[in-house]
Amino acid sequence: MKLLNEKSKQGRSSFNVGLLDIQTNIPDDLQRTELNLPELPEVEVVRHYTNLSNSNFGVDNGLYPLGSCTMKYNPKINEIAANISQFNLHPLSHHNRGTLEIIYQLQQYLCEITGMHAFSTQPAAGAHGELTGIMIMKAWFEKRGEQRTKVIIPDSCHGTNPASVSLCRFEPVHVKSSSSGGVDLEDLRQKMSRDVVGIMITNPNTLGIFDENIQEITQTIHDYGGLCYLDGANMNPMLGVVKPGDFGIDIMHLNLHKTFSTPHGGGGPGSGPVGVVKDLEPFLPNPRISMKKEKLEFEQSEDSIGRVHSFYGNFGILLRAYSYIRSIGASGLRNIAENAVLNANYMKEKLKKHYHLPYDRICQHELVIDDSLMPNGVTTNDIAKRLMDFGFHPPTIYFPLIVKGAMLIEPTETETKENLDAFVDAMKAIKEEAENEPEKLTKAPLNASIGRLDIVRAARKPKLTWFT
């Protein structure tokens, strides 16, 4: 499809702005002489983006089982809620009681759901929450006058975990997974010392397994005075069933754009609130919103790590999450966990008849299969591309790294049994194609708006704007 600048013609823009008869105060030598933004009539702008949207796939288009991303249905009512004009307020306005009430109530709900003592809603995404959490750990040990340097991370972790750790000048130390998919307790014990800041753990982990030794793991960390951070990306199957605060977690983040259904927007905006136990509350980002004598106000703490966002986080996303929690209520939250886990296990049982299941056990919200049984050199990437032809978004591929040729599948609770069956049928058909007509897979997608893209070329000669 043509680019905006290729469709542009001087004088075409219809979006007129009337000026006043007032001289500017800006000297000529500070002003720009040309502005080459594209010029299209409004109808062509709308058609351009409408046509672009037609070559995009969202949850609104079909099953999107992208593992660890929780691509559930994003209720439309939450968009209406987020567009209530009275909430579109300047962040420094003092007439903000309604807005503060939403943030405060949401903090309370998140505490109740996770068993944490206090939440800050400032972090703008999961990785931002991780960074905030590690900053809190750093500030905690600084306050205690302890110099610790190492953060334990299981090898099944999200890539953001070690990246967040190294931003805080700590050293990530990886622990192995056991043959059953959990943390290898022996390896963990060997790596423990008084130099360990704590652990960053994802539970259920990225194999979709709830670590049955989670209490031993957190106890081991606590025995050495360390802190336990939970990457809450996989909170969905725990809603109303189990609280991280009960299994020894000291700090965690939630991804509101995953568990709490705010749309992912093609890469954000998200929101990554951080929750902590009581001892760590003073270290949360400044300012916090708290209740003093039945009045909501901003509160500053001396021990705080400081501010991590220009203002107070992604309020537009917080409002959607609040709206979601209120609309489904307590019973709805538990329902999510149960059905997410049911759907994943159902799919696992059906898929294992055709694909290799590296960890054949009960899973939580997601499952991993791999390409080890595929004939004719067909790879996970080929399967992913061919799934597009069947009308599905592919799963997360080649992740977690500990499974060669991994496909991480998270169906979520909002899919019908018929959708799950259709996906399994497609996977079965793809397996048969791999045996009989492998070129259909290696050349896939065949029906998408564009053929398989040359990723290597994109990186070898980077062209990142229409100027170069």
Give the C-alpha separation, 353 to 213, whole Å. Answer: 29
10 Å CB burial of residue 55 (0-12, 13-18, 19+) is exposed
Q: Which stretch binds another protein (CB under 8 A): 40-48, 189-197, 368-376, 432-440?
A: 40-48
Minimum distance from residue 86 beta carbon to another protein (Å): 4
Q: Which residue's CB is nearer to another protein, number 75 or number 198?
A: 75
Minimum distance from residue 332 beta carbon to another protein (Å): 5
Residues near another protein (CB under 8 A), total: 196
Single-letter code of the amino acid located at 341: V
Give the footprint of another protein on residues 252-281 (CB under 8 A).
Answer: 255, 257, 261, 263-270
Cis preceding-peptide flag for 400 (omega within 30 of 0): yes
Q: Of the candidates 397, 443, 439, 390, which has an alpha carbon nearest to the alpha carbon of residue 419? A: 390
The answer to whether residue 449 forms part of the interface with another protein (CB under 8 A) is yes
The answer to whether residue 358 forms part of the interface with another protein (CB under 8 A) is no
312, 355, 390, 423: residue in contact with another protein (rule CB under 8 A): 312
Q: Is the dihedral of CA 281, 282, 286, 287 positive or negative?
A: positive
Q: Of the candidates 247, 161, 253, 252, which has an alpha carbon nearest to the alpha carbon of residue 212? A: 247
The answer to whether residue 16 forms part of the interface with another protein (CB under 8 A) is yes
Q: Is the dihedral of CA 263, 264, 270, 272 positive or negative?
A: positive
Give the footprint of another protein on residues 374-413 (CB under 8 A).
Answer: 384-385, 388, 393-394, 396, 399, 413
The answer to whether residue 69 forms part of the interface with another protein (CB under 8 A) is yes
Minimum distance from residue 130 beta carbon to another protein (Å): 7
The answer to whether residue 191 forms part of the interface with another protein (CB under 8 A) is no
Give the footprint of another protein on residues 412-431 (CB under 8 A).
Answer: 413-417
Give the C-alpha separation, 320 to 324, whole Å. Answer: 6
Give the C-alpha separation, 123 to 51, whole Å. Answer: 34
Beta bridge partners of 228: 199
Give the footprint of another protein on residues 291-310 (CB under 8 A).
Answer: 305-310
Q: Phi, psi (5° rounding) for residue 459?
A: -85, -30
Show the site string, 169-188: x = touches another protein by CB under 8 A, - = not. Answer: x--x----------------
Give the footprint of another protein on residues 103-122 (CB under 8 A).
Answer: 109, 112-113
67, 162, 275, 405: residue in contact with another protein (rule CB under 8 A): 162
The answer to whether residue 130 forms part of the interface with another protein (CB under 8 A) is yes
- What stretch of H or E contains 292? strand 288-292
The answer to whether residue 454 forms part of the interface with another protein (CB under 8 A) is yes
Minimum distance from residue 376 beta carbon to another protein (Å): 19
The answer to whether residue 15 forms part of the interface with another protein (CB under 8 A) is yes
Q: Which stretch binds another protein (CB under 8 A): 77-85, 218-226, 273-281, 367-375?
A: 77-85
63, 102, 175, 434: residue in contact with another protein (rule CB under 8 A): 102
Give the footprint of another protein on residues 225-244 (CB under 8 A).
Answer: 240-243
The answer to whether residue 206 forms part of the interface with another protein (CB under 8 A) is no
The answer to whether residue 145 forms part of the interface with another protein (CB under 8 A) is no
The residues near 341 (Cβ < 8 Å, ≥ 6 apart) are: 237, 363, 364, 365
Token output for 250: 């000291």
Give the footprint of another protein on residues 328-347 (CB under 8 A).
Answer: 328-336, 338-339, 341-343, 345-346
The answer to whether residue 357 forms part of the interface with another protein (CB under 8 A) is no
Helices assigned H by DSSP within 352-446? 380-389, 417-436, 439-442
CB 209 within 8 A of CB 369: no
Instruction: Transcribe 134-146 into DSSP letters.
Output: HHHHHHHHHHTT-
Single-letter code of the amino acid located at 45: V
